Structure 1
Amino acid sequence: MRTALVSAIALALASASMASFAADQTTTQLPRDVRPSHYDVSIVPHAEQLKFDGKVSIAVEVLHPTTSITLNAAGMDFSAVTLTPKGKKALAAPKVAVNEDAQTATFTFAKPLPAGSYTLAMTYTGKIGTQANGLFAIDYDTTAGKKRALYTQFENSDARRFIPSWDEPDYKATFTLDVTVPSDQMAVSNMPAATTDKKGDGNTHVVFAPSPKMSTYLLFFGTGEFDRATTSIDGTEIGVIAQKGKADQANFALESSKAVLQEYNNYFGVKYPLPKLDNIASPGRSQFFSAMENWGAIFTFEYALLLDPSISTQSDKQAIFNTAAHEMAHQWFGDLVTMRWWDNLWLNEGFASWMAARTTEKLHPEWNAQLDAVYTREGAMSRDAIATTHPIVQNIDTVEQASQAFDTITYSKGEAVIRMLEGYVGADKWQQGVQRYIKAHAYGNTVSDDLWKEMDAVAGPGVTTIAHEFTLQPGVPLITVSAAKCEGGKTSVTFTQGEFTKDRPGKTPLRWHVPVIAKTVDGASVTTLVDGTASVSLPGCGPVLVNAGQSGYYRTLYPQDQFAGLRTAYPKLPAIDQMGMIGDAWALGLAGLEPVSNFLDLAKQVPVDAAPEMWGVVAGDLRSLDAYYKGDTTRQNALRKYAVGRLHPVFERVGWESKSSDTASVSILRSELIATLAQLGDKKVIDEARRRYAAQDTDPKAVPGELRKIITYVVASNADAATWDALHAKAKAETTPLVKDQLYTMLSIPQDDALAKRALELALTDEPGATNSADMIGAVSRNHPEMAFDFAVAHKAQVDKFIDSTTGSRFYPMLGGSSLDLSLVPRIEAFAKANIAENARRDSDTTIANIKYRSMVVRERLPSVDAWLKAQK
């Protein structure tokens, strides 16, 4: 009892300390003396001229006397501005000053404005872009010729390119949008159309119903030659909107959305509040996002929404479900309840990622989504273990910093920490806390502590402390396991908490209260909270498995004798624990905290009939290890010989041809093994892929839709000039955007240097389409990082036209992400110094840190791999 009391007091003291750090200091880049409540927006797009006319009347409240009103505006020209006090005549026209650098417009009046209610009206013109920011155009091919559609993308800070507005999440308001569009087009927004009036000039005026109170970045408008398919559930109409003739390819997404919406209505305890929920498919792509959670009008690029039977795979199907579930979760976490400022972005993204994973597990248990959660956590911990990491709740001061916040820490670490906390609190209590939070803050804005308050209310004090430590400080806890001792049928073991880091071996560890679940291999699980150290007694004797079930966010370091016992038991462990153990062994081995051979020993223990997901991990790790040997043919061939021999028996079981007995996991593994064996230079697989690719015109069975991507990938990756030319001709002739976009990506993945250079040059032309060029350069960088970076920098003026405005500070440095060449570091540093604001260089710093880390692995870890491989002969 005394131990429990001491722990409770420690938790309370730590919680109070962290709470002071988390005190609300909502950031704003605008004066706080004026607040909007409603926008009436009228838009007339001129798609061919890439411009639009706009009018807006904003109901505002002047909170304190002021002589000026400042709001956000970017790329706009104002022709008229008036301010009208409630019940009075308009004031004299103000002076208008536009600051493009600050993305603001300031209206200065001759006399101070008394506090009170006003209407601010503006007439303006704006620009239609060709990348996914603000109002933008997408041009795409069809069998009937070229078409153009318009869409909007406002997150994080681009509503200001569409409406002069208080473009920050805390300035919520209602919106009434009306648009004038060609009569042969469909217009869509967050709400259903209230009136539709065809004019005599070939245009139609559409007025949408008023929106609920929401942040500016959630407003949406799209128009084009669309089809719409619908269904309904719980009184809500669910729709999918796509280019004409393609809506049937969204049937899976439509039916999935129906099931997910019903699940979310039940889980959140608050019914989805809008009358309809559309998902709008667009050709093209962005470097920044695949889908966007606009309230009632989710925007999704076609590759993340449509299933084309000629190229789509089981992986695509599962990704489409996950994307739809993620964006629909935002309708509550993000839209109904919104973070006050971008420093708490994880309240949107981490929770949507966790909710999507949870819902996939429930609605599609056959997909084994709980294993994907381990993969997601591994990605987060890899990023979180280098010096350039950041807390989940982070300091955001600028638009550029806000754009960088959409990263692995926000999404994947956020998801993993929520999963851990849910496991610690219990699923039922966690749901109660979520429901309390949603109901308490509907249509409002929050900080993270608003959520922890509700969790403490249902789960008891202590949740906030753990949550603060995992969200307000960066890094990965390391649980070191002491030698275990078994007496009387019970095993005693001590855990010590440190910190796992990949590039700071002498770092003083941070401190966390870490929820740890442990068990002997055949015993029952025991949960403890490790605060520095903790000793536990586990039922049974045998090897001790830490993080059983893999819900914890930490690394585990075993003594070598205990690791040996677990290695022997490894084939019998559940797949989820196999994945967790091999993930730890990989990370700890490359960081030098345990022998690299531990990973290789575990990979050797994986039985041929192990879970397909487990073999996917082994294949992926062997591919990563192979990449470390790039440029060292002799040593690389030794690894490849072993890796091919290890994977071939598994591939022989899976085979090229699908079987009626195949699970979804087997279908995915087939493609993963083909890709891995081809990268490892397996001539048998490469030759068969080439044979099938050549035969597809005469033998429809040679390249089934499920394998078209991977077969084309193998052929393109190993292409010679003639093959590349033939693939290029195919891309030019293709009229289906989903297929065409993919073919241009395939043109960018050859291992041959000369062909990679041709792809880079092609990317700068108009041929691929405005949104494919940046993706092509990024695809080249996977095999040729130095070439891609140097090319992009040398042609920066042209490349800038092909990247989203939100991506400028990350696109260029991240091209070097797969490099092993330390000489690239000063080039990235020089680019960042010349082109990126000093407070927005996180991505360039991260790329540099990873290059240094990868170079260290080559120097210091590969010799151990060489020795292990030699011992296998």
Structure 2
Amino acid sequence: MFKKLLSVFTLIVSTLFFSVPSMADVDYRLPSNIQPTFQKINLKVDPDKPDYSGSTMIDITVSGSADKIGFYQIDLVIDKAELISGDTRLPMTVSAGDYHMNWASTGDTITAGKYKLALTFHGKVNTSSDGMYLSTFEDRNYIFTQFEDMHARRAFPSFDEPSFKIPYQLTISSPEKNTVLSNTLVAKRSVADGWQTVTFNKTKPMPTYIVAYAIGEFDSAPIEGLSIPGHIYTPKGKADKTKFIATHTAEILKALESYFGAAYPFEKVDFIAVPNFTHGAMENAGLITYRDSYLLLGDNPRLTERTGPLNVVAHELAHMWYGNLVTMAWWDDLWLNEAFASWMSGKVMVKLYPELNTVNNLVQEGAFPEDALPTTRPIKKVVREAADVMDGLGLNYSKGESILLMVENLIGEENFQKGIQQYIKDRSWKNAEASDLWRALGAVSDIDLPAMMKTYIEQPGYALINFGENGQVTQERYLLSDEGNKKQVWQVPLSVKYKLNGKVEHMAVTLTQPSQMISKLSEAEWVYPDAGALGYFRWNIPAAQLDALLNDTDKLSSREKKSFINNIGALFTAGKVSLQEQFKALAVLANDSDPMVVRTVFSRIGQLDYLVDDSNRELYARFVEKMALPWFKELGTVEKEGESDDLIKLRYSVFSLLSRTSHNKQVLATARQLSESYLKDANSVPASLAGNAMAMVARHSGQQWFTTLEDAFKATTDARVKGTIGRGFYFEQPELITKALDLNLTDYVTPANVIYGLYYASGRMDDKTLMYQWLVKNFEALTQKMPAYHIAHMPQYVSSSCSVGNITLAKDFYKERMEKFEGMARSFEVMLQSSHQCVELKGKYQADFTEFLKAQ
């Protein structure tokens, strides 16, 4: 699964590893003495009707004896339950238990043996985007599924745990006009009385969370160059927009087959463009679902618009091996599932698309902010329910991928690949735990991976490595305040680049203690502790070495310079370097010849906007103009033939920063021109420029511009265009902010996209009083429309702030609401901690920041 939202928002086994109960009998899992072996599912679904019905037959094996048989379901009505043994059918009574379990009993002891559990049921189609849900697009109704993590139980009764990995066979009845899709090819189809009944081939063994089906009036386009059947399915009339993805899918799949040393494991590979999708994509075996914006790109999208979609396709296809062919035993290892797919997609992107320069992505930077909070939990943790799975979900991807990159760097690419291939071979069609992977990788290296990994996955946070002038190297937990345990210890592999006697040298060393002596470094002119910028840690060197390094930045790669900028920003935030030291470094690297490095400088300047309020807003705007206007005049807003991806992105970053802060007449005039061009023809202006341009115009406009944007927003069904226009509702007038919020409750915004509108509206408010007034009035309507995942995470998306007043408003709003929604209390806790830290940082640094701005 690809969690796109968490990259948008600025927020995220064996006994060797974590003392998590095994599959054995814990109260939040089904008992281990009853094992399913095969399940048939029959459904009767009309996308135009709110109700549906179904039946299922589950083959089970009972070991020993049992008083009852458990299964999962949510919001279904069980009409009939029977236990079948040979020709004997025993009626069963069903009662509800904890954790969505139902318990079926015959009234007598069920002896050891093989049985069939037969259930007949009915329910209502979900209208958000969890389980089996309705999506209405251009006046047609479609049915889609999203079963990860614990949502298959919303569609049909099942043994909804990843360790119950069995074959399934689906039969779906639906009106004849619809196309019916599932994980496998169609075995047979019959039609009678305007209805069709479609039976699909039996699946390979797989967990419930990657079972999938879709029903509706789809169009399709073939994916050429595959050894198995493949199509991209779209809502009616959109198949002509799939050429770009269809063109590149085969080469991505071949690259993955080559790396794993194993053929694609399923009988087909279909993609579906979904108009209403909570997340980014989902790796259902043979039937991968995507937000439609990832697939409907046309023939030739802009260079900068390719990275995200190609990366998501590679991520989901990587899951076919890691996640689907080999499946985690329980949700506590979801972090590894997603980390591996993210790591693998990154490798594919570097190999196939070097022009996109993803080799210089610093994955760890996406994890560091959330992982610095005292409230952050380890990525491997006890999981009892869906909210536990989703807690810190972004870290599963970013921190997990960073750890795998570090391990690969340690043992070498060739050895890492050998270990992975053996792991896939050994665990195919089975379940696995993290320890199985470390064992496979340990077999091709001499590193004690279990011991090292324990320090990264079983404890939260990451190390700050301090280098003393005498060669003393110490580690502590990186935190923004004294709250929390700083005395944690990691096994930190350092790749140290240093300058000694005028010569740049390298040293590899692993820190295992709170303090270690590396005497040779005491003589160095400067030390750069993270050569290659692959480390999952922050570092701090003495002031004299920092000055020397700033005079020698040509000895660093562009990737290392980019990491250096982020690192010194983190040191400033933690109070380890002064504001002046940070800006000295930014000034040096702002003149770098690599546009990627310069873009990172502008990104860091933009991240300081938490120190901006009415007291220094104009000073900050003038400082940004001083830094960015020369680049704006040089780069303009029109792409030129042959420009690199990084130069184009620098143009976007410069304009983005100016559009958010500046009142410059030339910039505003350009924003108006770009906005008007985009609204006439969305292909005429890059979306990254258009969204910022429309937002800048909104800051300087009123009702007339609001009406223009609203009309354009309502008129389009193109998800990319709608998303771009949605970012433009950046009005400052209370009545227009309210109107923009109201738009989220209309049918023009899908349930999965409501959270974006709330996020953008909240982000522009220094005082969130208006936001909470609106939320109080509309909370019930919101929670009826939004997916459960978004409801649970509303505090982080909507309420994060840097204001004591806003924190008080948040406390008042959530105190009676958060216990009613699974996961919301945890999200509130994270939001509160990050907001308090922001308030503390603002109090600590704002005066110095204002004085610095005055001096400029």
Same fold (TM over 0.5): yes
Could you say what secondary structure the match of 1:49 adopts?
Answer: coil
Distance 2:146 2:223 in 1: 25
- Within a 5 Å distance, the mapping from 1:444-523 to structure 2 comes to 444-483=430-469, 493-504=471-482, 507-520=485-498, 523=504
Farther-moved stretch of structure 1 (187-196 vs 757-766): 757-766
Distance 1:703 1:803 in 2: 31
Would the alpha carbon gap of residues 507 and 741 (structure 1) be closer, same or farther in structure 2, given more than 3 Å must change?
closer
- Within a 5 Å distance, the mapping from 1:615-654 to structure 2 comes to 615-632=598-615, 635-654=616-635
Could you say what secondary structure the match of 2:89 adopts?
Answer: coil
CA displacement 1:143-175 (0-9 Å, x = unmatched) = xxx111110000111100111001111111111
Q: Among 525, 528, 540, which residue is 2:509 paired with? A: 528
CA displacement 1:497-553 (0-9 Å, x = unmatched) = 222111336744201110001112562422111122241647996422110110110
- For the 8 Å contact 2:463–2:478, the answer to whether it is kept is yes
Distance 1:644 1:161 in 2: 53
CA shift, 1:695, in A, is 5.4
Distance 2:709 2:743 in 1: 13
- For the 8 Å contact 1:238–1:257, the answer to whether it is kept is no
Q: What letter matches 1:518 in structure 2? A: V
- For the 8 Å contact 1:482–1:558, the answer to whether it is kept is yes
- Within a 5 Å distance, the mapping from 1:18-167 to structure 2 comes to 19=17, 21=19, 24=22, 28-85=28-85, 87-91=86-90, 93-98=91-96, 102-141=99-138, 146-167=139-160
Distance 2:65 2:830 in 1: 46
Distance 1:477 1:604 in 2: 27
Could you say what secondary structure the match of 2:45 adopts?
Answer: strand
1:414 corresponds to which residue? 400
Would the alpha carbon gap of residues 742 and 826 (structure 1) be closer, same or farther in structure 2, given more than 3 Å must change?
closer
- For the 8 Å contact 1:717–1:749, the answer to whether it is kept is yes
Would the alpha carbon gap of residues 261 and 62 (structure 1) be closer, same or farther in structure 2, given more than 3 Å must change?
same
Could you say what secondary structure the match of 1:48 adopts?
Answer: coil
- For the 8 Å contact 1:385–1:503, the answer to whether it is kept is no
CA displacement 1:323-352 (0-9 Å, x = unmatched) = 111111111111111111111111211111
CA shift, 1:828, in A, is 3.3
1:582 corresponds to which residue? 565
- For the 8 Å contact 1:570–1:602, the answer to whether it is kept is no
Q: Among 257, 264, 269, which residue is 1:272 paired with? A: 264
Distance 2:354 2:519 in 1: 33
Is 1:174 the counterpart of 2:167? The answer is: yes
Q: What letter matches 2:835 in structure 1? A: I
Distance 2:814 2:603 in 1: 32
Could you say what secondary structure the match of 1:645 adopts?
Answer: helix
CA shift, 1:434, in A, is 1.3
CA shift, 1:555, in A, is 0.3
CA shift, 1:788, in A, is 3.2
Is 1:263 the counterpart of 2:255? The answer is: yes
Farther-moved stretch of structure 1 (820-829 vs 29-38): 820-829
- Within a 5 Å distance, the mapping from 1:66-465 to structure 2 comes to 66-85=66-85, 87-91=86-90, 93-98=91-96, 102-141=99-138, 146-197=139-190, 199-233=191-225, 235-286=227-278, 289-308=279-298, 313-372=302-361, 374=362, 376-405=363-392, 407-465=393-451
2:3 corresponds to which residue? none
2:827 corresponds to which residue? 843
Q: What letter matches 2:593 in structure 1? A: A
Is 1:725 the counterpart of 2:711? The answer is: no
Distance 1:182 1:710 in 2: 44
Q: What letter matches 2:197 in structure 1? A: H
Would the alpha carbon gap of residues 616 and 215 (structure 1) be closer, same or farther in structure 2, given more than 3 Å must change?
same
How many matched pairs? Answer: 833
Q: What letter matches 2:186 in structure 1? A: A
- For the 8 Å contact 2:84–2:115, the answer to whether it is kept is yes
- For the 8 Å contact 1:597–1:865, the answer to whether it is kept is no
Q: What letter matches 1:249 in structure 2? A: K
1:489 corresponds to which residue? none
Distance 2:189 2:848 in 1: 71
- For the 8 Å contact 2:40–2:170, the answer to whether it is kept is yes
Would the alpha carbon gap of residues 254 and 696 (structure 1) be closer, same or farther in structure 2, given more than 3 Å must change?
closer
Distance 1:368 1:167 in 2: 40
- For the 8 Å contact 2:221–2:239, the answer to whether it is kept is yes
Could you say what secondary structure the match of 2:107 adopts?
Answer: strand
- For the 8 Å contact 2:652–2:689, the answer to whether it is kept is yes
- For the 8 Å contact 2:755–2:790, the answer to whether it is kept is no
- Within a 5 Å distance, the mapping from 1:739-750 to structure 2 comes to 739-743=721-725, 745-746=726-727, 748-750=729-731
Q: What letter matches 2:213 in structure 1? A: F
CA shift, 1:322, in A, is 0.9
CA displacement 1:539-584 (0-9 Å, x = unmatched) = 9964221101101100011111111111222355321111111111
Would the alpha carbon gap of residues 653 and 285 (structure 1) be closer, same or farther in structure 2, given more than 3 Å must change?
farther
Could you say what secondary structure the match of 2:587 adopts?
Answer: helix
Q: What letter matches 2:581 in structure 1? A: N
- For the 8 Å contact 2:311–2:349, the answer to whether it is kept is yes
Would the alpha carbon gap of residues 97 and 366 (structure 1) be closer, same or farther in structure 2, given more than 3 Å must change?
same
- For the 8 Å contact 1:774–1:799, the answer to whether it is kept is no
- For the 8 Å contact 2:244–2:298, the answer to whether it is kept is no
Distance 1:108 1:283 in 2: 42
- For the 8 Å contact 1:597–1:864, the answer to whether it is kept is no
- For the 8 Å contact 1:809–1:843, the answer to whether it is kept is yes
Distance 2:683 2:459 in 1: 54
CA shift, 1:290, in A, is 1.1
CA displacement 1:597-654 (0-9 Å, x = unmatched) = 222112111244532322332222222212431333xx22222212221122223332
Distance 2:258 2:680 in 1: 51
Q: Among 836, 854, 860, which residue is 2:844 paired with? A: 860
Q: What letter matches 2:295 in structure 1? A: L
- For the 8 Å contact 2:709–2:729, the answer to whether it is kept is no
CA displacement 1:691-716 (0-9 Å, x = unmatched) = 34335678999746774444334334
Would the alpha carbon gap of residues 362 and 602 (structure 1) be closer, same or farther in structure 2, given more than 3 Å must change?
same
Q: TM-score, normalised by structure 1?
A: 0.90
CA shift, 1:769, in A, is 4.0
- Percent identity between matched residues is 25
Would the alpha carbon gap of residues 639 and 413 (structure 1) be closer, same or farther in structure 2, given more than 3 Å must change?
same
CA displacement 1:825-871 (0-9 Å, x = unmatched) = 57337625643379863321111111111111211012222333344
Farther-moved stretch of structure 1 (825-834 vs 668-677): 825-834
Distance 1:861 1:204 in 2: 67
Distance 2:338 2:353 in 1: 22
Could you say what secondary structure the match of 2:229 adopts?
Answer: strand
Q: TM-score, normalised by structure 2?
A: 0.92
Would the alpha carbon gap of residues 738 and 30 (structure 1) be closer, same or farther in structure 2, given more than 3 Å must change?
same
CA displacement 1:176-220 (0-9 Å, x = unmatched) = 0111223332221111112222x1322322111111101101000
Distance 2:761 2:640 in 1: 35
Distance 1:865 1:728 in 2: 38
CA shift, 1:467, in A, is 1.2
